[in-house]
Chains A and B, each alone.
Chain A
Amino acid sequence: MNAEMPLACKPGDYKSAVKPIWCPGCGDYHVLMSFTRAFAQLRLPPEDVVVVSGIGCSSRIPAYTNCYGFHGVHGRSLALAAGLKVTRPELTVVVASGDGDGYSIGGNHFLHACRRNVDMTYVVMDNHIYGMTKGQPSPTTEPEFDTALTPGGTGVRPFHPLVVALASGANFIARCFSGDPNETADVLVEAIKHPGFSFVEILSPCVTFRPDEKAWKDMVRVAPVPATADQGKAARRLMTDDGFNLGILYRGSRKPYRPAVGANNFDLAELEKDFEL
């Protein structure tokens, strides 16, 4: 960052001129708003923030910010972000994903990002559907939800991302609702400040393929108890909640991953000594 230049601190300073492709009423507009509010609250210079994503409606978000961004291949955003963050630890890295990108094709990386604990924030905009490909079931879709691809429903038990995150070693686990961008921004601020991997699931309705999700606004509630640091307690709560408790639900204190890096004034000729006869 350039210290002599004025810092951006209004949410609008973090928005780009690119017009989103999202449907009118999409929850992701509010997530974008939460992003820009959180960045402004933290007074982050936009050039020191990188928003990394995969493929899907939600993954379009990087270009809608005025930060650096990477819109990569489907499901691999966490890996790309890990490579970036371990080599550029001074940057703020936020990864944006959806329930298909993050929990289906990217499921393996989710597990390993949780356990690796690189200092970055993972935001999954969960709408329980593949929106960009027009309405196929995702890992969080209810088993009876009828689609053209799965007539009569999948019959398959939905994935429970928060429980998986906890079991995999995530140290900061939160759930938000896109319809409350201020509260979401506050949680994002805490998530970004949290040292290590932070996971924020944002319920973000798909008004086009899941109009029933408009009802979410009446179903969500602030979690009745504050965040716990006790994994056992968190496991029980996450396993038994109905998916609509909001807020920071688990916060541990495991140390973030820090790569071993030596000085960069090392004489490369020293490396040859391994080979000399």
Chain B
Amino acid sequence: MAAMPSISIAIVGSGGTGALTTGNFLFEAASAVGLQGVFTRTMGPQIRGGEAAALLRFAAEPVESLPDHFDLLIGIDWLNAHRFGAEIKVSPNSLVIGDPRGGDVPPVIAAGGARMIEIPMKELAKGVPEGRPNMVALGIAARLLGFSVEQMFAPVEKRLADKGPAAIESSRAAIKIGYEAAAGLKFEAKLPAPKVSKAKRWLLSGNEASALGAIRGGIRFAAAYPITPATEVLEWLAPALTKVGGTLLQAEDELAAINMIIGASYGGTPSLTATSGPGLSLMIEALGLATAAEVPLVVIDVMRGGPSTGIPTKSEQGDLNIAVYGFHGDAPHLVLAPQSVGDCLFTTQWATYLTEALQAPAIVLSDQYMGQARVAIERPADVAFIGARSVATEIDGAYKRYALAANGVSPMAIPGTRGGQYTADGLTHAENANPTSGAVDHLKQLDKRRDKLDTFNYGDHWATVEGDGELAVVTWGSLTGTAREAIARAADDGIKARLISPRLLSPVQPEKLAAALKGAKRVLVVEQTHGAQFHRYLRAHYDLPAPVKVFSRPGPLPITAGEIYSAIADWRVS
């Protein structure tokens, strides 16, 4: 697998300049010609109108991670752009375009050694009635990337349709002016040629993909307490659930949200909530209740920087510990992690299926990066996972809610079913659900809840396993694609590495990982935490062949393929 040709563009501007709008139009235009790509937005702390940056990357192949260096950076102005300096790296091969009246290029960007060009975007925009510099910037970007002006018009017209022909005309004129202004500019990077494909193509974020996966899996109730960066899951679900015969209830806090979905699920409705680290912390007690009372439910945790309030708008994988180990007592449950925006759909749908099949709560560990990134991808394949709970319908004689079934999953009586009355309980209970503090019942029910998860066949979906190199790169979550790209680059250097990324984090799958590691002579663990949580988790549950190295660093900056590649290449040298 050869390294993937791609092109990366960043557009920055202070509040009101419309840098994100420019990025969005460019993203839609590139998507329309069949490229795959990713569009992330990064903003200052202001609620509205602060400085913003649009970060885009396109390739012929699926691409979701940001580049080591941006090929093109356009500063509509540079006010507060230094805040993005660490995120938007440029190299001597990059081109940086600024406005002579837009302030000085921040030193952190200038230090990259990129070629700098000035184009008076503000001044040029004045040549058009109501002309805006961000549309001039769009014209410049279009020219440099090899688009025609017309290719920029389609998304602009779609977006501005309700603003009338004058607004559209002024944008078109400004784009043309930018396009002309970039004539003759030297720019080496080339837009990759899109692959010809008949597949339907989608433009969506991971949060939207998770929400769709939830509904496809059968979720018909959600309880919602807003939190960055998970809110879009809930906002997408609100109207969608209503359409499909379900509903969403806004909760007064996360404690209420998790308990609402326990109640709804107890009543027979597959249920979900979405949150982030602080909310998950509040939900943990009730997740233990769902485990003990064997109530299916899905909690999507879109991870952000932690601990505490941390960095709400930036990604980190630091909720692994609380998701796997946070419950008090011995409380086996499901923890799954999507591996890309498209996989947010699959994994959430699968989680819904698993929680219903196993009557154990499922936590889906997404993260801010893939949750909020928008990607252009081929439509993910349909999968057959639809939640189907074992339900007690014909009840003769004494019903035992927690009967010791062979597979550990006992049929659940749904309220309204005559003869099935029982009280679900967080207290240790006997098979008939009555509270007990006896040692025998305690052990039996602990065994039951453990065994039903451990004996289930999770198939091949438990992990992504690719390649057979002696070096195994073991990672998880949104770093999967980044690691894949790094491995491809290393392959160009003749280094063979395999990729192992578990999608199912709990229950652990020691035999399957051992098979995936067969023949591996060393392991590189890659994760985005400060305390190497994933490495410790692997050490606790799996045998890893020595030697093991760990590349682990916290957010807020995304880990790039270049960094992982270096970790692979440097190890060979030593």
Q: Which of A's residues lie within 8 Å of B, judged by CB?
A: 1-2, 5, 18, 45-48, 50-52, 62-63, 66-73, 75-88, 90-91, 108-109, 111-112, 259-266, 268, 270-272, 274-277
- Chain B's closest residue to A17 (CB) is B434
Which chain A residues lie closer than 8 Å to B260 at the CB level?
A: 79-80, 82-83
- Least distance between A98 CB and chain B CB atoms (Å): 16
Give the docked Cα–Cα distance between A81 and B256 (Å): 10
* Contact pattern, B 165-201, Cβ under 8 Å of A = 1, otherwise 0: 0000000000000000000000000000000000011
- Least distance between A133 CB and chain B CB atoms (Å): 15
A-B contact pairs, 14 of them (CB 8 A): A63-B425, A71-B435, A72-B289, A73-B289, A76-B259, A76-B286, A79-B251, A80-B263, A83-B259, A83-B271, A87-B269, A91-B415, A259-B247, A265-B245
Which chain B residues lie closer than 8 Å to A48 at the CB level?
A: 415-416
Asked whether B247 lies within 8 Å of A277 as measured between CB atoms, the reply is no
The answer, among A18, A76, A268, for a CB contact under 8 Å with B244, is A268
Which chain B residues lie closer than 8 Å to A275 at the CB level?
A: 202-204, 208, 212
Asked whether A108 lies within 8 Å of B261 as measured between CB atoms, the reply is no
Give the docked Cα–Cα distance between A277 and B202 (Å): 5
- Chain A's closest residue to B376 (CB) is A277
Give the docked Cα–Cα distance between A76 and B233 (Å): 24
Give the docked Cα–Cα distance between A264 and B220 (Å): 10
- Least distance between A251 CB and chain B CB atoms (Å): 25
Asked whether A63 lies within 8 Å of B242 as measured between CB atoms, the reply is no
Asked whether B264 lies within 8 Å of A84 as measured between CB atoms, the reply is yes
Which chain B residues lie closer than 8 Å to A109 at the CB level?
A: 252, 255-256
- B9 located at the interface, meaning its Cβ lies under 8 Å from any Cβ of chain A in the complex: no
State which residues 236-284 of B face A: CB under 8 Å: 240, 242-247, 249, 251-253, 255-257, 259-269, 271
- Number of B residues with CB within 8 Å of any CB on chain A: 63
Asked whether B425 lies within 8 Å of A71 as measured between CB atoms, the reply is yes
Asked whether A268 lies within 8 Å of B262 as measured between CB atoms, the reply is no
Which chain B residues lie closer than 8 Å to A50 at the CB level?
A: 267, 415
The answer, among B221, B245, B424, for a CB contact under 8 Å with A71, is B424
Give the docked Cα–Cα distance between A86 and B260 (Å): 10
Which chain B residues lie closer than 8 Å to A63 at the CB level?
A: 423, 425, 433-435
For the complex, would chain A's binding face be called helix, strand, loop or mixed by DSSP majority?
mixed
The 6 closest A-B pairs by CB, nearest first: A264-B245, A83-B260, A69-B423, A83-B263, A84-B263, A79-B256
- Chain A's closest residue to B253 (CB) is A108
Which chain B residues lie closer than 8 Å to A272 at the CB level?
A: 202, 212, 379
Asked whether B202 lies within 8 Å of A276 as measured between CB atoms, the reply is yes
- Chain A's closest residue to B28 (CB) is A277
- B66 located at the interface, meaning its Cβ lies under 8 Å from any Cβ of chain A in the complex: no
* Contact pattern, B 198-219, Cβ under 8 Å of A = 1, otherwise 0: 0011111000100010011000
Query: Which has the most chain B C-beta neighbours within 10 Å: A45, A81, A82?
Result: A82
Which chain A residues lie closer than 8 Å to B249 at the CB level?
A: 82-83, 86, 259
**A63-B425, A70-B293, A266-B245 known; 4 other A-B pairs, CB under 8 Å?**
A68-B413, A83-B221, A112-B256, A264-B245
Give the docked Cα–Cα distance between A1 and B61 (Å): 56
Asked whether B423 lies within 8 Å of A88 as measured between CB atoms, the reply is no
Asked whether A73 lies within 8 Å of B416 as measured between CB atoms, the reply is no
Which chain A residues lie closer than 8 Å to B247 at the CB level?
A: 86-87, 259-261
- B120 located at the interface, meaning its Cβ lies under 8 Å from any Cβ of chain A in the complex: no
Asked whether B31 lies within 8 Å of A47 as measured between CB atoms, the reply is no
* Known contacts A47-B415, A79-B255, A83-B271; A262 and B243 CB within 8 A of each other: yes
* Known contacts A50-B415, A73-B286, A277-B376; A84 and B421 CB within 8 A of each other: no
Give the docked Cα–Cα distance between A229 and B247 (Å): 32
Asked whether A277 lies within 8 Å of B31 as measured between CB atoms, the reply is yes
- B15 located at the interface, meaning its Cβ lies under 8 Å from any Cβ of chain A in the complex: no
- Chain A's closest residue to B395 (CB) is A47
Which chain A residues lie closer than 8 Å to B263 at the CB level?
A: 52, 70, 79-85, 87
Asked whether B245 lies within 8 Å of A18 as measured between CB atoms, the reply is no
Asked whether A76 lies within 8 Å of B426 as measured between CB atoms, the reply is no
Which chain B residues lie closer than 8 Å to A52 at the CB level?
A: 263
Give the docked Cα–Cα distance between A48 and B221 (Å): 20
- B101 located at the interface, meaning its Cβ lies under 8 Å from any Cβ of chain A in the complex: no
- Chain B's closest residue to A84 (CB) is B263
Asked whether B421 lies within 8 Å of A261 as measured between CB atoms, the reply is no
Which chain A residues lie closer than 8 Å to B421 at the CB level?
A: 46-47, 66-69
Give the docked Cα–Cα distance between A62 and B215 (Å): 32
- B32 located at the interface, meaning its Cβ lies under 8 Å from any Cβ of chain A in the complex: yes
- B285 located at the interface, meaning its Cβ lies under 8 Å from any Cβ of chain A in the complex: yes
- B44 located at the interface, meaning its Cβ lies under 8 Å from any Cβ of chain A in the complex: no
- B152 located at the interface, meaning its Cβ lies under 8 Å from any Cβ of chain A in the complex: no
Asked whether B262 lies within 8 Å of A80 as measured between CB atoms, the reply is yes
Asked whether A271 lies within 8 Å of B262 as measured between CB atoms, the reply is no
Which chain A residues lie closer than 8 Å to B242 at the CB level?
A: 260-262
* Known contacts A69-B423, A83-B264; A112 and B252 CB within 8 A of each other: yes
- B417 located at the interface, meaning its Cβ lies under 8 Å from any Cβ of chain A in the complex: yes
Asked whether B259 lies within 8 Å of A80 as measured between CB atoms, the reply is yes
Give the docked Cα–Cα distance between A262 and B425 (Å): 32
Query: Which has the most chain A C-beta neighbours within 10 Å: B220, B267, B426, B433?
Result: B267
- Least distance between A194 CB and chain B CB atoms (Å): 20
Which chain A residues lie closer than 8 Å to B202 at the CB level?
A: 272, 275-277
Query: Which has the most chain A C-beta neighbours within 10 Å: B223, B247, B413, B433?
Result: B247
Which chain B residues lie closer than 8 Å to A71 at the CB level?
A: 423-427, 435
* Known contacts A83-B262, A109-B256, A259-B249; A73 and B243 CB within 8 A of each other: no
Which chain B residues lie closer than 8 Å to A47 at the CB level?
A: 415-421
- Least distance between A99 CB and chain B CB atoms (Å): 19
Give the docked Cα–Cα distance between A62 and B266 (Å): 15
- B537 located at the interface, meaning its Cβ lies under 8 Å from any Cβ of chain A in the complex: no
Give the docked Cα–Cα distance between A259 and B247 (Å): 7
The answer, among A70, A77, A268, for a CB contact under 8 Å with B216, is A268
Query: Which has the most chain A C-beta neighbours within 10 Å: B203, B252, B263, B286?
Result: B263
- Least distance between A61 CB and chain B CB atoms (Å): 9
- Least distance between A52 CB and chain B CB atoms (Å): 7
Which chain B residues lie closer than 8 Å to A263 at the CB level?
A: 245
- Least distance between A146 CB and chain B CB atoms (Å): 31
Query: Which has the most chain A C-beta neighbours within 10 Å: B264, B417, B433, B434?
Result: B264
Give the docked Cα–Cα distance between A45 and B379 (Å): 49
- Chain A's closest residue to B255 (CB) is A76
Give the docked Cα–Cα distance between A268 and B214 (Å): 12
* Contact pattern, B 354-387, Cβ under 8 Å of A = 1, otherwise 0: 0000000000000000000000100100000000
Query: Which has the most chain A C-beta neighbours within 10 Å: B245, B266, B286?
Result: B266
Give the docked Cα–Cα distance between A18 and B418 (Å): 19
